[in-house]
Amino acid sequence: MPATLHLQPEREKSVLRRHPWIFSKGIARVEGKAAIGETVAVRAADGRFLGWAAYSPESQIRARIWSLDEQAVIDQAFFEQKLRQADALRQHLLLRQQTTGYRLVAAESDGLPGITIDRYGPYLVLQLLSAGAEYHRQTLVAALQMLYPDCLIYERSDADVRHKEGLKPVKGPLVGAAPAAPVAIDELGLKLLVDIENGHKTGFYLDQRDNRAIAADYCTGGRVLNCFSYTGGFGLAALRGGASEVVNVDASEGALELARHSLALNPQLDASRAQFLKADVFKLLRWYRERGEQFDTIILDPPKFADSKAQLMGACRGYKDINMLAMQLLKPGGTLLTFSCSGLMPSDLFQKIVADAALDAGRDAQILRFLRQSEDHPVAIHYPEGLYLKGLVLRVL
């Protein structure tokens, strides 16, 4: 018999509202023994069955709901059904955008807590970030092999968040060999290289696909500064949009080198209009300000500044600083595309920070568009935490 989590009185409300997380403070007692990641029954204080969940004794998120159906069995068939559903929901995206790189499974928002799966051409890149996901590793891989028999599977479960679940980082091939070179994907008429083994996240920022397409519309004929450029996705989009010059800036020479190789795969773009600078963005923006440099469009896509609530205040200062500097470098009427991928940063707070940055820069600004993660990164309606990427397109006056 599986172990049972009995909740404190009134703590069943979030489960009844279909939120997938149960926190440690909401649990009254555990009946029976459960190994880390094992499936347990969840019951309300009055004994009502609420759902099946993955048990994580070392995390503040003590359990993550797999299913609310008492008849459900968390086995290979369960994972196959979830994978089929996730795949079906993305088929219209693939037909419309003709992309070979996309998020197949977006964790809790696709009903698979702690499981992220990105597809890059023939590769499925698997990220298991919860105890339950780790527990079902072999079952999940078997389900993927059943549905995608021609795909190679590589694991990138090397994110720091695994430590909170009592798990060690894991990285390496699961099915087939590791890629011998970066993998090329198609995205809206461009070819992009992805470093599956050592790149950020699972290798690439698929969540910015739609925003890269939008950015191209604000770069025509202008001088563009692409900050935190990583492997140059926004830079290529800017060139496709007709930018007269694109300066890509990143602290990683490896990322910039991959960006150069990606540009070479797109002969329709004028490579003479692109520059690649290895630099600290904060220092470079100040240096540009001292020199009186100006740009028509600036893109700010920094890495996550806050991994915990304790880091949120520092993150606010960082976002304010880079946005202030960027606004000071824009020509009157220039465009700023600015983003935060910190899930702990609420959208309204991010907008306030950018507004404060405009005040400090002595500039006024208008919001032209609100930006979010691409549609293959959906947000389950009962799981608002799934919305982590937020952005603004601003006209800076």
Say yes or no: 161 and 289 in one domain. Answer: no
Overall average pLDDT of the 254-267 stretch: 98
Say yes or no: 218 and 141 in one domain. Answer: no
Say yes or no: 250 and 315 in one domain. Answer: yes
Say yes or no: 63 and 80 in one domain. Answer: no
Q: Domain range holding 18? A: 4-67
Residue 310 above 90 pLDDT? no
Overall average pLDDT of the 96-102 stretch: 90
- Which of 67, 99, 115 lies at the terminal end of a domain, its last residue? 67
Tell me the whole-structure pTM to 2 decimals: 0.95
The Cα 293–Cα 76 span in angstroms is 58
| 241 inside domain | yes
Overall average pLDDT of the 142-157 stretch: 98
Residue 305 above 80 pLDDT? no
Buried b (16+ CB within 10 A) or exposed e, 174-185: bbeeebeebbbb
| 189 inside domain | no
| 225 inside domain | yes
Number of domains in the chain: 3
Q: What is the pLDDT of residues 113-137, one digit of tens each?
A: 999 999 999 999 999 999 999 999 9
Residue 306 above 90 pLDDT? no
Unique residue bearing structure tokens 């520092």? 314
∠ CA(345), CA(347), CA(91), 5° rounding?
A: 100
Say yes or no: 292 and 376 in one domain. Answer: yes
Sign of the torsion angle spanned by Cα atoms 190, 109, 160, 390: positive
Say yes or no: 377 and 299 in one domain. Answer: yes
For residues 95 and 129, which has the higher predicted lDDT (pLDDT)?
129
Say yes or no: 338 and 383 in one domain. Answer: yes
| 194 inside domain | no
List the one residue out of 234, 232, 199, 212 whose CA is nearest residue 97: 212
Residue 303 above 90 pLDDT? no
Cross-sheet strand order for the sheet of 39-43: 21-23, 61-67, 49-55, 39-43, 4-7, 27-31
| 98 inside domain | yes
Q: Are 283 and 319 in contact (CB under 8 A)?
A: no
Unique residue bearing structure tokens 């995206």? 93
Overall average pLDDT of the 370-385 stretch: 96
Say yes or no: 256 and 379 in one domain. Answer: yes
Q: Are 363 and 327 in contact (CB under 8 A)?
A: yes
* CATH number of 233's domain: 3.40.50.150
Write out the chain in H/E/C secondary structure. Answer: CCCEEEECCCCCHHHHCCCCEEEHHHEEEEECCCCCCCEEEEECCCCCEEEEEEECCCCCEEEEEEECCCCCCCCHHHHHHHHHHHHHHHHHHHHHHCCCEEEEEEHHHHCCCCEEEEEECCEEEEEECCHHHHHCHHHHHHHHHHHCCCCEEEEEECCHHHHHHCCCCEEEEEECCCCCCCEEEEECCEEEEECCCCCCCCCCCHHHHHHHHHHHCCCCCCEEEEECCCCCHHHHHHHHCCCCEEEEEECCHHHHHHHHHHHHCCCCCCHHHEEEEECCHHHHHHHHHHHCCCEEEEEECCCCCCCCHHHHHHHHHHHHHHHHHHHHHEEEEEEEEEEECCCCCCHHHHHHHHHHHHHHHCCCEEEEEEEECCCCCCCCCCCHHHCCCEEEEEEEC
Q: Show which residues are catalytic.
A: 341
| 195 inside domain | no
Overall average pLDDT of the 102-113 stretch: 98
- Which of 175, 194, 227 lies at the terminal end of a domain, its last residue? 175
pLDDT band at 94 (very low <50, low <70, confident <90, very high): confident
Q: Are 34 and 2 in contact (CB under 8 A)?
A: yes
- Tell me, what's the pLDDT at 311? 77
Say yes or no: 213 and 278 in one domain. Answer: yes
Task: Give 5's strand partners.
Answer: 30, 42
Say yes or no: 294 and 381 in one domain. Answer: yes
Say yes or no: 102 and 209 in one domain. Answer: no
Overall average pLDDT of the 312-322 stretch: 86
Say yes or no: 376 and 288 in one domain. Answer: yes
Q: What is the pLDDT of residues 203-257, one digit of tens each?
A: 999 999 999 999 999 999 999 999 999 999 999 999 999 999 999 999 999 999 9
Overall average pLDDT of the 375-393 stretch: 96
| 149 inside domain | yes
- The rounded mean pLDDT for the chain is 96
* CATH number of 121's domain: 3.30.750.80
- Let me know how long the chain is: 397
- Tell me, what's the pLDDT at 95? 82
- Tell me, what's the pLDDT at 345? 87
Overall average pLDDT of the 81-106 stretch: 93
Buried b (16+ CB within 10 A) or exposed e, 11-34: bbebbeeebbbbeeebbeebeeeb
Of the CA atoms within 13 Å of residue 106, those in its CB half-sphere come to 23
